[in-house]
A and B are shown apart, each in its own frame.
Chain A
Amino acid sequence: MRQLDIPTGKHVSRRQLLAGSAALGSMILATGLTGCGGTANAAVHDIAFWHLLSGGDGVKMQALISAANKMTPGAVVHPTVLAWGPPYYTKLAMASAGGRPPELAIMHASRVPGYAPGGLIDPWDMGLLAEHGVTAADFAPRIWEKSQHNGQPFSIALDSHPFVMFYNTEVAAIAGMLGADGQLQAPASPQEFLETAREMQKVTQAHGLSFGYLGSGSQMWRLFYTLYKQHGAAMELTPGQPMKVDRDAAIESLEFMASLFDDTVAAKSGDISTGIAEFARGDSGMLFSGVWELPTLQKAGLPFDAATIPTLYGTPAAYADSHSFVLPRQLNVDDGKRRAVYKFVSDVLKGSLSWAQAGHIPAYQPVVQSQEYQELTPQIHYANAADIIAYDPESWFSGSGSDWQTFFAEHVQNVLLGRDKASDGWDAFEHRTNTLLSRPNPV
């Protein structure tokens, strides 16, 4: 999943197109053959599967799909890749509302509350999933809890992908920040963090930290919500009521964020890709980023490790979301197809070690506990994030790539650029959120 808005990975989609057409070809061939045989149980189920994973994630997902297709001769999964964010969710909602959605789709767990109550997706039948050896106990508690809606599992998580910190081990070593275990000694307060960053800046001569945010509400929100949740504060969005929020914690988090961009700790302004490029060049000691950037950094070839974002306000917390499988509601459910979908999902979950190589923390615990995963670095150094992840507050308008995150950018970007006061920016955003909460709930 590229979280950037720059369209890249052209050859990836071409490859997927080729794979798709090859699959299509074999499907036509297969249906032709069964037509001759005429036996019902030899029928091949075509499963339409929509997802929003492109770039490195897209390649990994395609491999998982191909592997699953080989394991199940009776079903062929045809993926359709759509652009991350509003384009994907708009199409998925419209397809479901129109009654002709794909049999299976990937959603961010944080977007499920906008879909489940409106009847756009169906709950999972855990009994049927148990036939393939997947049960509730196989998921980390926080992830499993998130997949529930009104007591029913509406999504089956593939992973959790938290917002974490990558750091340059060489820079950290010269700055004297590495502990005996070779990992960064995590600062425990905002002040300590700024000092750490300044020490690293002395080594890199450029910046201590890389964090690009310009134009991306998602990116600003990820860091903000991590810091906010580290205050141990809650945030609740209930339609018809004002937002329940700890205003002081929110403003303190924003003020700390704004204090980072002083051209010493971090560059004054820059977008996501600028931040990643700076860290990859070795011009900074740390990078705040989603785990999905791991393959990009590994390709850059710099010496680095990763950890959860240091606990600066007492309570460990990390913003995260999950890629989750959902069953878009069909007008007529084809039982054979649905069974094939369950089989496919269980196969992908069991094969999710390769998904972990792309940086994500698998949701399926048997994979996390496997020897192979325990030896995977730097993944294992932030695997503890699964216990401290914080999802977006639930509502029909929140979640990854939602307009709500765009609204956050509208009010907060000027705070981070030093043009507005943190309290003004926050109050404006809170007011905007309250307006949304006061409107009729469309789902």
Chain B
Amino acid sequence: MSSPTTTATPRSSAIAPPARIISRRRRDNINGWAFAAPFLAFFLVFLVWPLLYGFFMSMTGKSLTGANDSLIGFANYAEALADSDMWRSLGNTLYFTVISTVPLVLVALVMAALLNVGLPAQWLWRLSYFAPYLLASTVVSLFFTWMYNPQLGLINDSLSKIGLPKVAWLNDPNVAMWAIVIATLWWTVGFNFLLYLAAMQNIPAQHYEAASLDGAGAWRQFFSITLPQLAPTTVMIVLLQVLASLKIFDQVYQMTAGGPSGSTRPVVQYIFETGFTGYRLGYSAAISYIFFGLIVIVSVLQFFIARRRSA
């Protein structure tokens, strides 16, 4: 719909007086707002309003039962900053983000590179790498809960067959988070893989031809051409991945419910528990805002890093 306006504008501006231009602009504006209105209404009602109301709630002692609705200022924030459980769950979320983002980016890169070398039946590889991403988190959690079962699970069974000791995957506080990372890796690596593969296939073939004429081997080409060319994609993947990993909740809630010994409880689960099973909506809103602040900081940092790189 933009093309008729753009072609019409130069002609009419040449003939029509300034007043008509303004009224035309106003009409365009009204049309624009009309088109944006459905989204805008949705945005205001379901995003802006909850955001504001949540912030207001974090200033009150509001509970699920409706008790103590009074304003208490920043008392919830003060309590949260001194709450060791909040710091611990926040630490768990950050820990998961670090140990999941690294393999989720690297493994995706390796998978895409292997495929890009020119394996036969590319569509089959692409499909099988991406297929797990289409599953619901509940399905993935159930699969892995069974595979991690200490007595009956596929993984421990295979380990014992090759003479390795059994591992209490989801019951050992030192291992549980890694078990969740492995499940998450299997589940979501396909998305990053697809982004990498698309980026790789966009690198002009002349670069490689020129490099091979100059005598560069496959490894040299990978490190000197492929990786630098992928840099913008890598920045984007890391950004998306960090934000996705910070939101971790589903798999943990379904596989360990935060255990053993709270070693996998992410901050989102702590927010859920304080608010819904612990009734303290105001307090859980305060923790959400602390977490929100953290995400904003991470996003801003990444934005600046990305801008400096592209500049």
Do these two chains really belong together in a complex?
yes
CB within 8 Å of B: which residues of A? 5, 86, 89-90, 93-94, 97, 114-115, 118-120, 214-215, 269-271, 274, 396-397, 402-403, 406, 409-411, 413-414, 439-440, 442-443
Q: Which residue of A lies closest to B282 (CB)?
A: A442
**Pair A443/B168 contact, Cβ less than 8 Å:** no
22 A-B residue contacts at CB 8 Å? A86-B277, A93-B64, A93-B279, A94-B64, A97-B66, A119-B65, A120-B65, A215-B171, A269-B168, A269-B171, A397-B278, A402-B277, A403-B277, A409-B259, A410-B260, A411-B261, A414-B173, A439-B280, A440-B61, A442-B278, A443-B63, A443-B67
**Pair B259/A443 contact, Cβ less than 8 Å:** no
Q: Which residue of B lies closest to A93 (CB)?
A: B64
**Pair A409/B261 contact, Cβ less than 8 Å:** yes
C-alpha gap A270/B171 in the complex (Å): 10
B-side interface mostly: loop
Contacts of A119 in B (CB 8 A): 65-66
CB distance from B46 to the nearest CB of A (A): 18
List residues 56-76 of chain B with CB under 8 A from any CB of chain A: 61, 63-68
B276 interfacial contact with A, CB 8 Å: yes
Q: Which residue of A lies closest to B168 (CB)?
A: A269
A214 in contact with B262 given A118-B65, A397-B278, A442-B68 (CB within 8 Å): no
**Pair B261/A403 contact, Cβ less than 8 Å:** no
CB distance from A150 to the nearest CB of B (A): 16
The 10 closest A-B pairs by CB, nearest first: A118-B65, A442-B63, A442-B279, A410-B261, A410-B262, A90-B276, A86-B277, A442-B280, A443-B65, A214-B171
1/0 per position for B122-160, CB-CB distance to A under 8 A? 000000000000000000000000000011000000000
CB within 8 Å of A: which residues of B? 61, 63-68, 79, 150-151, 168, 170-171, 173, 256-262, 273, 276-280, 283
CB distance from B121 to the nearest CB of A (A): 38
Contacts of B66 in A (CB 8 A): 97, 118-119
**Pair A5/B257 contact, Cβ less than 8 Å:** yes
C-alpha gap A89/B278 in the complex (Å): 10
Contacts of A114 in B (CB 8 A): 279
C-alpha gap A86/B283 in the complex (Å): 19
**Pair A89/B279 contact, Cβ less than 8 Å:** no
Q: Which residue of A lies closest to B68 (CB)?
A: A440
A442 in contact with B65 given A269-B168, A397-B278, A403-B278 (CB within 8 Å): yes
C-alpha gap A120/B279 in the complex (Å): 12
C-alpha gap A411/B173 in the complex (Å): 12
C-alpha gap A119/B277 in the complex (Å): 16
Q: Which residue of A lies closest to B84 (CB)?
A: A435
C-alpha gap A414/B173 in the complex (Å): 9
Pick the most buried of A89, A90, A94, A396: most chain B CB atoms within 10 A of its CB: A90
